[in-house]
Amino acid sequence: MARRIMLVPISTGVGLTSVSVGLVRALEQKAVKVNFFKPIAQPRKDEHGPEKSTLIVKQGSSISPPEPFELSYAETMISEGKGDDLLEEIVERFENSTSQDEVVIIEGMVPTRRQPYAGRVNREIAQTLGADIVFVLTPGNDTNDELEDRLEIAAGNYGGIKHPRVLGCIFNKVNAPLDEDGRARADLVDQHKPELLENELHRLASLPIFRKHPFLLLGMIPWEFDLVAPRVRDLCDYLGAEVINAGDMAHRRLRRVTFCARTVSNILNHFTPGALLVTPGDRSDVLVAACLSAMNGVKLGAILLTGGFKPEQRIMTLCEQAMQTGLPILCTESDTWKTSLLLHNFNMEVPCDDEQRIEKVKSHNAVNIDADWLDELAKGVARTRKLSPPAFRYLLTDLARHAKKTIVLPEGNEPRTIKAAAICGERGIAKTILLGDAEEIQRIAQQQGVTLNENVTITNPNEVIHDYVAPMVELRKSKGLTDVVALEQLQDSVVLGTMMLAQNNVDGLVSGAVNTTANTIRPALQLIKTAPNSQLVSSIFFMLLPDQVLVYGDCAINPDPTAEQLADIAIQSADSANAFGIEPRVAMISYSTGTSGHGADVEKVRAATKLAKEKRPDLIIDGPLQYDAAIMENVARKKAPDSPVAGQATVFIFPDLNTGNTTYKAVQRSADLVSIGPMLQGLRKPVNDLSRGALVDDIVYTIALTAIQAKQLEKQ
């Protein structure tokens, strides 16, 4: 039978949606078959379109939750005395849309002034669906006694804290900045004291109520401003502001608000990354000073001009270079006082189209749910056969944390690389070494609003370069390398980083955000060389489809491999897939399936398939297969009914680089999906290349891949 968990909010403002989607994501990461149901939609009065919780759950996930009933319909049924009929319809929709082998997260209604009946409805739905109860609340300014009273009163509506259906509670927004009424307020971020988080977590975990078995503390989710930081675009839409310069308003986020009512010299220290500068439109001095700050690398959030005043054209011309950095400039007709009131009432909830923020909320909340409870929920419930993208990303970061490796980043002064290093340090994914000038790197980090912790080391190449001259000459003595030439080559930070790897001073290398693929791989081939059991170096991409992760190889290195090389690529790729939690079913791709086609190209694939099977009879490999026969079950039944791979392939081996690279890019762009890679295979030590258009998250996951590879190579 399906395990049914109903999240019941104790009050308004608990962040129920974020907890719901976090719990769903946590179960997805455990590869548990999970679904979601919001029985009755509960939109804000200013919201339109689909119900928010259901829509957000769908994003970045393969599950298809049942649609909730409209609030107006539910209220009509309740007011007409047809509450029992409504419950029957809820049960029918639930049973028709969920299966008996999954965990279903049910989101209750939030009690508000408009829906005072929400508590009663939640209780009736929970009883009707046979759901276990988990309460969601925020600690606020409540004392221990007050928190316990709130929980005991809430539990009393469901049989008390010792009732077998009442499991426990999840605290959300722990250590949030609070107003005098105890409500979490993002606009009070300057009063936030992250150093107090550990004390607050300890206080909550020590509440006596959790000693009253079986009531459990099932999660404590710390408040983080990044989870509520809105895009400039969101604020612009809310204010109905005129756009003077759009810049990067679709992605740039606001972290604080500064009202520029003083002289420029007295507000310069407020010109910080993510700051929204609010100033009367006729304060040209503030505008020019802010633009100078932007030109010097400070990533301001935006400038909001009030009073309906717009800058003169000559001022705009003076600020043109700053605007090209992506600085958004907005203008509103409201004066500064009215604007401040509007900003105070701005809805900080995540919009349904803010995919980046939604992903952060899901991941952050998922990691703060009790792992033992999640494992308990997973017992007796089906596991998904396919590894979903959330489960794969979680597996990457989890394996990397346990690997405890150090990765060198030769492009140490590149802003995306610096930010990725900071994220890896914060999450414990890996220790990193940034090669570059410490003062410059710290300046770039400060401009980006990035803090480098103890897991990030900055190494100046000039201070260590001479340590690697002699070892490099020794490695390349057969090529006649001299000290002078070695010293010159080591001026290239990629070469220096590769030598650090060759000398076992680091565990892996990631480069390519600035350097070309050739610049990244050539030093590795010269200094690291291939692994003893590998004839060549190849690559794979992890393709994160909506419902599963596939492996594509080789899409980056070998232009036209022989049959023997193609067999080795297939074996390397299958082993890599297995190392990352993907069950390898290898399809050798060609323009022909089975024996239907002839020609040199298809014969090469046929020969490679035979060789790979002979070398590794333990692997499930088949070919030649056309792409559609390899991935689509209905096509497989017609073209290759006896194939153990067709229709269910997870590893796709392409016959040449032209086919592989074209296919990976076509699938990536056409389906608008994320790909991670290329990950290099066959080297003695892990070196990985980045796309020069890589996002920060791409770099983070590539660092994680590299750390895991380093751990895997230790076992060989």
Alpha helices in 319-388 (DSSP H): 320-323, 336-344, 355-367, 371-378
Strand order in the sheet with 406-409: 456-459, 431-435, 406-409, 508-511, 687-689
| Per-residue model confidence (pLDDT) at position 466 | 93
Report the pLDDT value the prediction gives residue 456, as an integer from 0 to 100.
94
**What CATH number matches the domain at 3-225+367-383, 3.20.20.70, 3.40.50.300, 3.40.50.2300, 3.10.450.50?**
3.40.50.300
362 touches 388 (CB < 8 A): no
Which helix (H) or strand (E) covers residue 712, if one does? Answer: helix 696-714
Strand order in the sheet with 242-245: 242-245, 329-331, 302-306, 275-280, 256-259
Dihedral sign computed on CA atoms, order 674, 680, 681, 686: negative
* pLDDT for position 58: 83
Low-confidence spans in the chain with pLDDT less than 50: none
State which fold the 538-682 domain adopts. Rossmann fold (3.40.50)
The per-residue pLDDT for 579 is 85
Domain 232-344 = CATH 1.10.1060.10: no
pTM of the model: 0.74
Beta 431-435 vs 406-409: how paired, if at all?
parallel
CB neighbour class for 684 (10 Å; exposed up to 12, middle 13-18, buried from 19): middle
Q: Which residues pair with 245 in a beta bridge?
A: 329
pLDDT tens, position by position, 658-706 = 999 999 889 888 877 778 888 999 899 999 998 887 888 889 999 999 9
Q: Where are the domains of the chain?
A: 3-225+367-383, 232-344, 391-527, 538-682
Residue 194 sits at the vertex; the CA angle it makes with 192 and 196, to the nearest 5 degrees, is: 105
User: Could you check whether 3-225+367-383 and 391-527 share the same CATH topology?
Assistant: yes
CATH number for the domain formed by residue range(s) 391-527: 3.40.50.10950
The predicted-structure confidence for 190-219, as pLDDT tens digits, reads as follows 666 777 889 989 999 999 888 877 889 999
Task: Supply the pLDDT for residue 236.
Answer: 93
Asked if 527 and 472 count as a contact pair (C-beta separation under 8 A), the reply is yes
